[in-house]
A and B are shown apart, each in its own frame.
Chain A
């Protein structure tokens, strides 16, 4: 009773304004609803489910039933204590860092070349970017064939150039396979860097170069004093996105080697798959999945924190 007068006092004064605002808000929320539903069901719920699964020792078939077993940390100790765990971290590091470095190097070089606008640049731009349009799984098939140790084109070219004396067993030797897979992935990944770097190069005002030339700056000086600083912001974001995408990539490895030989090409993200669907241990797979998630979130937060004052992401 006591609260009633207060409400009846407030209502008539606010209603006309609030009514329209509330209706607009309702409409906007309704328009957002399908997207919210999608992300709730397809992103949020799966993550929650993954965390839950990681705390139970289940077989694939048991996933469908209500869980009656007690929760345990066994999956985490089994996954991290596995003799293959540390090697898989090393494989992940090679795949992510060497893969991104190679893609960046090729991407930056091609972008600089295309930015020169030599004759036929548009044609070359289309050519240089074309690997992007090949599906990762299909690119893997092509590279499996190219890297074949009996009749592969890469081995032929290496032999013909005298760089090796015998065909390299790229995909069947545990020491070489991770590098072969990484390089093959870089072929598919570098056009993204080309396009981003080209956009960055074209955003550098031409007048800066002209001013530097007036001052007598040479080619190299212009590159280090104008081009590189002009690229920095783009470079930071592009490398970050490249690292994330390489970290996420599973198709390339799964198709080319299936994680082998001797599980030598199992990156963290691939291991989540093989543990769950090949070794049929969803709990261990989920534990690795949670670890993967933690690594990704930590890296992202660190990146955002490091670039917090900049507006370019």
Chain B
């Protein structure tokens, strides 16, 4: 009796956990394919009326709002953040891993500080900086905001990776007549592919998900990102939930795709303490 009960309970609990995770996402998807009035009926239909499903909300969001611009802005900001973070963190991570002394402790401290800072704390100074540099309402301002958190962690991730690469490997290249820089480029960089993928995944997700920098450093309207754009649709009198959920789904798909693609790297990044 007990022998059958325990596995059954475990399976039920696992099913429940899966439901808890997926139900909000399911509801977002179902709502986005519904008509506006169907959403407001009581009781809500857990299993949607298949004939009532429609792409109306998607058409309305993509043609009636600046959603395409927002998605493009988010993409541009994300790609730029990834590229700059990689360009900065790979050499720095290598240098830190090969130098001993205070630099490493300093990085640890900076990393810790940047990890505990709420973005709102940096917001006013970054706003001042962006305005002084004429970057207000420019995507570059949001990139800078993203980098304030991305650079320390990305540098740390690269350092931890290079720590594991034996110096012998490089020394062999130097003996072959490579300069140190050349060795870094042609020996170390190919070695670091997986760590760079982890940095890409981490910075990509953080930048795509950003809300607070885009909300403050961009003025809204056409220049803003998809997360802010979706939230702006709430401000209206009559919230058209299917449209909001359609845009929410469009904003989530790229991350889900990245998640499927870079599953392993993200897990690794997570266990080194990212969020």
Is residue B21 contacting chain A, with contact meaning CB distance below 8 A?
yes
Residues of chain B from 15 to 55 with CB closer than 8 A to chain A in the complex: 17-18, 20-25, 27-28, 31, 39-44
Interface pair B128/A63, CB less than 8 Å apart: yes
CA distance A31 to B93 in the complex (A): 9
Residues of chain B from 232 to 275 with CB closer than 8 A to chain A in the complex: 234, 241, 244-245, 248, 251-252, 255-256, 258-259, 263, 267, 270-271, 273, 275
Measured CB to CB, the closest approach of chain B to A136, in angstroms, equals: 6
Q: Mark B181-199, 1 if CB is under 8 A from A, else 0.
A: 1001000000000000000
Query: Could you say which of A53, A130, A196, A241 contacts B124, with CB atoms under 8 Å apart?
Result: A53
Is residue A213 contacting chain B, with contact meaning CB distance below 8 A?
no
Interface pair A130/B25, CB less than 8 Å apart: yes
Measured CB to CB, the closest approach of chain A to B123, in angstroms, equals: 7
Most buried by B among A28, A249, A254, A296: A28
Interface size on B, residues (CB 8 A): 92
Is residue A289 contacting chain B, with contact meaning CB distance below 8 A?
yes
**Residues on the B chain within 8 Å of A241, using CB:** 115, 273, 275
| A-side interface size class | 35 or more
Query: Could you say which of A39, A249, A272, A293 contacts B152, with CB atoms under 8 Å apart?
Result: A39
**Residues on the B chain within 8 Å of A36, using CB:** 92
CA distance A36 to B27 in the complex (A): 45
Query: A27-B181, A32-B92, A35-B89 known; A255 and B211 CB under 8 Å?
Result: yes
Query: A35-B89, A64-B128, A151-B41 known; A195 and B259 CB under 8 Å?
Result: no
Measured CB to CB, the closest approach of chain B to A164, in angstroms, equals: 14
Q: Mark B118-133, 1 if CB is under 8 A from A, else 0.
A: 1111111111110110
Measured CB to CB, the closest approach of chain B to A77, in angstroms, equals: 19
Interface pair A109/B17, CB less than 8 Å apart: yes
Residues of chain A from 98 to 148 with CB closer than 8 A to chain B in the complex: 106, 109-110, 113-114, 116, 118, 124, 126-146
Q: Mark A240-266, 1 if CB is under 8 A from B, else 0.
A: 010011011111001100000000000
**Residues on the B chain within 8 Å of A286, using CB:** 124
Interface pair B27/A142, CB less than 8 Å apart: yes
Query: A134-B255, A138-B251, A187-B24 known; A35 and B120 CB under 8 Å?
Result: no
Measured CB to CB, the closest approach of chain B to A29, in angstroms, equals: 7
**Residues on the A chain within 8 Å of B121, using CB:** 46-47, 50, 269, 272, 289, 292-293
Interface pair A42/B151, CB less than 8 Å apart: yes
CA distance A118 to B41 in the complex (A): 39
Measured CB to CB, the closest approach of chain A to B266, in angstroms, equals: 8
Interface pair A118/B14, CB less than 8 Å apart: yes
DSSP class of B's interface residues: helix, strand, loop or mixed? helix
Query: A29-B95, A296-B116 known; A282 and B209 CB under 8 Å?
Result: no
**Residues on the A chain within 8 Å of B244, using CB:** 141, 145
**Residues on the A chain within 8 Å of B124, using CB:** 49-50, 53, 63, 276, 282, 285-286, 289
Interface pair A46/B13, CB less than 8 Å apart: no
Interface pair A145/B126, CB less than 8 Å apart: no
Q: Mark A10-42, 1 if CB is under 8 A from B, else 0.
A: 000000000000001101110110111011011
A residues near B, CB below 8 A? 24-25, 27-29, 31-32, 34-36, 38-39, 41-43, 45-47, 49-50, 53, 63-64, 106, 109-110, 113-114, 116, 118, 124, 126-146, 150-151, 153, 156, 160, 187, 191-192, 195-196, 199, 237, 241, 244-245, 247-251, 254-255, 268-270, 272-273, 276-277, 282, 285-286, 289, 292-293, 296-297, 299-300
B residues near A, CB below 8 A? 7, 10-11, 13-14, 17-18, 20-25, 27-28, 31, 39-44, 87-89, 91-92, 94-96, 98-99, 103, 110, 112-129, 131-132, 144-145, 147-148, 151-152, 155, 180-181, 184, 205, 208-209, 211-212, 215-216, 227-228, 230-231, 234, 241, 244-245, 248, 251-252, 255-256, 258-259, 263, 267, 270-271, 273, 275
- Which 5 pairs from chain A and chain B are nearest by CB? A35-B92, A46-B125, A135-B209, A269-B118, A42-B148
